């Protein structure tokens, strides 16, 4: 059934939209194919039970045209390393010149594929300067895509049903909440049946321990890391666990590690509503804008569209029904980047004329669903599985109504679409494993935290919070729109990041670009 929207904070979502709809993609640099090579692990002293993992040698092979690929092995359970092992997929773009080391990239999610991000969007991920100075390494975290992965269904139509089917009962009724709980419990059991024990070990703390292992086997004494969106939580968690191994860490589009599940939803609802108003301010008064009047009046028209779809869904040519939740997903995808705002106008115009197909094109891009009904990756399953381990369930059936009222108050347009998801992980097969507390990473090297003032997915307040929590956090602010700022905003941001990585020159705290 259609899920209450919980937005994934993923830079890769915007990249997918650009590649899918603009048909331009990102042109990666063409490097000569490198011969097979092996890594030289650091040889550092670690506990005997994990030494075989830290001392393994990667064999790089030519792949994907101009890249090299390798597979690393990690313990399933870092607390019991001999229990079983999992695979981690890596892809590398070698530095143009002499490499200063490896730069590991995480695009967000959780559930985003670093492998695909580097392969498909290298120039979007990092600047030419960094490509010239570092071996850029994308990796799929545990549970994701080409690594040992979460899987929940054999038949993609079953995932279609979970994501897109319309609930039988009115939103907010006890019967509706019962549908949600039953659907979530069935999904969790399906994931357990298809994934097995791995499902209980895809948490961010385990992924951060993998990250330290990857650092060592790549031969880097310190970790150099660029994390976007959810990747900032992974990076901050790493710094907390291994402060003495932090090299240069940049966390762009920050998540506040101390926020509760409901606080995340409430803050994101306001963030996307603020981004919607920015789009409407740019739209109203132009000839191709589907809205008329003031920004406030246009926002009410957007709400009217969502309310209408809640009562009378539109049927697409493939038979799926477009309700308010799927329409919300279609709306937020272009809100990740100001460059994609024109797609919003096309979206609203098509739906207001009774056509649901364009909305499903956007929603499908968000979920990595291909035109033939298959899914390009497991990002949706991994997103849910990782979050259910990282966030303790704080909502109850009794609190959902009050939370829905609060969301509607904070974000009148989008709040209702993001309500009633609070118990989605209540019946997950495994208990949450991460305590939601502030991260200080005492003793770390300087860590650069980038926040965009009107970022819809990771609102600016989270960057302020994370930079303030980190003992050595440095806040860099981009005054503008969109999700994340590095390599997609201005030279001030780009130079701050590149100079940090290349010249070891940290930007001043509270830098504003």
Residue numbers annotated as active site: 229, 455, 483
Task: Give yes or no for a contact between 34 and 66, defined as CB atoms under 8 angstroms apart.
Answer: no
Decide if 418 contacts 5 (C-beta within 8 A): yes
Nearest to 483 by CA among 232, 131, 224, 128: 232
Distances from the Cα of 216 to the Cα of 54, 186, 222, 239, angstroms: 6, 40, 8, 15
Q: Is 452 helix (H, G, I), strand (E, B) or coil?
A: strand
Task: Give pairs for 258-261: CB < 8 Å, separation 24+.
Answer: 258/436, 258/437, 258/438, 258/439, 258/465, 258/469, 259/436, 259/462, 260/391, 260/392, 260/394, 260/436, 261/391, 261/392, 261/393, 261/394, 261/395, 261/422, 261/425
DSSP run (H or E) holding 474 = strand 473-481
For residue 273, the tally of other CB atoms under 10 A from its CB is: 21
> What is the spatial distance between Cα 292 and Cα 284, in angstroms, rounded to a whole number?
6
User: What angle in degrees, to the nearest 10, is found between the helix axes of 324-335 and 261-283?
Assistant: 70
Burial group, residue 187, by CB count within 10 angstroms (0-12, 13-18, 19+): buried
| Contacts with 210 (C-beta within 8 Å, 6 or more apart), sequence order | 74, 88, 141, 142
What is the token pair recorded at 86? 């999992």
For residue 157, with 0-12 CB atoms within 10 Å meaning exposed, 13-18 middle and 19 or more buried, which class applies? exposed
What is the Cα–Cα distance from 109 to 383, expressed in whole angstroms? 6
Describe the chain by its helix, strand, coil percentages, rounded to 5: 45, 15, 40
DSSP-derived 3-state class of residue 225: strand
């Amino acid at each position: 059934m259609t899920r209450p929207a919980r937005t994934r904070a993923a830079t890769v979502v915007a990249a997918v939209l650009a590649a899918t709809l603009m048909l331009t993609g990102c042109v990666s640099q063409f490097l000569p194919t490198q011969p097979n090579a092996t890594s030289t692990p650091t040889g550092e002293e670690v506990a005997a039970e994990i030494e075989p993992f830290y001392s393994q040698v990667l064999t790089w092979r030519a792949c994907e045209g101009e890249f090299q690929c390798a597979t690393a092995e990690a313990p399933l359970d870092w607390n019991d390393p001999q229990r079983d092992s999992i695979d981690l997929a890596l892809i590398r773009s070698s530095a143009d010149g002499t490499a200063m080391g490896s730069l590991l990239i995480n695009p967000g999610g959780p559930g985003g594929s670093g492998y695909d991000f580097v392969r498909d969007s290298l120039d979007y991920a990092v600047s030419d300067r960094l490509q010239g100075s570092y071996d850029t390494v994308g990796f799929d975290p545990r549970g994701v895509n080409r690594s040992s992965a979460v899987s929940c269904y054999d038949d993609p139509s079953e995932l279609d049903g979970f994501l897109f089917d319309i609930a039988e009962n009115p939103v907010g009724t006890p019967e509706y909440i019962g549908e949600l709980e039953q659907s979530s419990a069935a999904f969790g059991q399906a994931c357990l049946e298809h994934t097995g024990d791995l499902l209980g070990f895809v948490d961010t703390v385990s992924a951060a321990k993998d990250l330290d292992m990857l650092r060592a086997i790549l031969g880097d004494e310190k970790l150099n890391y660029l994390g976007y969106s959810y990747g900032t939580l992974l990076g901050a968690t790493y710094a907390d666990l291994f402060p003495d191994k932090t090299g240069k860490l940049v966390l762009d589009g920050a998540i506040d590690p101390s926020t509760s599940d409901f606080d995340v939803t409430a803050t994101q609802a306001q963030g996307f509503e603020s981004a919607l108003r920015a789009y409407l301010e740019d739209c109203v008064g132009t000839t191709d804008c589907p809205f008329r009047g003031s920004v406030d009046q246009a926002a009410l028209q957007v709400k009217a569209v969502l309310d209408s779809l809640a009562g009378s869904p539109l049927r697409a040519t493939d038979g799926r029904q477009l309700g308010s939740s799927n329409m919300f997903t279609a709306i937020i995808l272009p809100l990740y980047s100001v460059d994609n705002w024109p797609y919003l106008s096309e979206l609203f115009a098509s739906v207001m004329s009774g056509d649901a197909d364009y909305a499903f094109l956007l929603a499908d891009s968000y979920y990595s669903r291909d035109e033939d009904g298959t899914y390009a990756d497991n990002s949706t399953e991994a997103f849910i599985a990782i979050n259910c381990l990282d966030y303790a369930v704080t909502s109850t059936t009794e609190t959902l109504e009050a939370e829905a009222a609060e969301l509607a108050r904070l974000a009148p347009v989008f709040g209702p679409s993001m309500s009633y998801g609070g118990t989605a992980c209540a019946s997950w097969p495994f208990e949450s494993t991460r305590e939601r507390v502030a991260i200080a990473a005492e003793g770390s090297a300087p860590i650069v935290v980038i926040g965009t003032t009107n970022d819809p997915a990771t609102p600016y307040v989270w960057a302020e919070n994370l930079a303030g929590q980190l003992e050595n956090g440095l806040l860099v602010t981009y005054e503008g729109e969109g999700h994340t700022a590095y390599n997609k905003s201005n030279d001030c941001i780009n130079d701050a990041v590149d100079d940090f990585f290349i010249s070891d020159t940290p930007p001043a705290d509270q830098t504003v670009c």
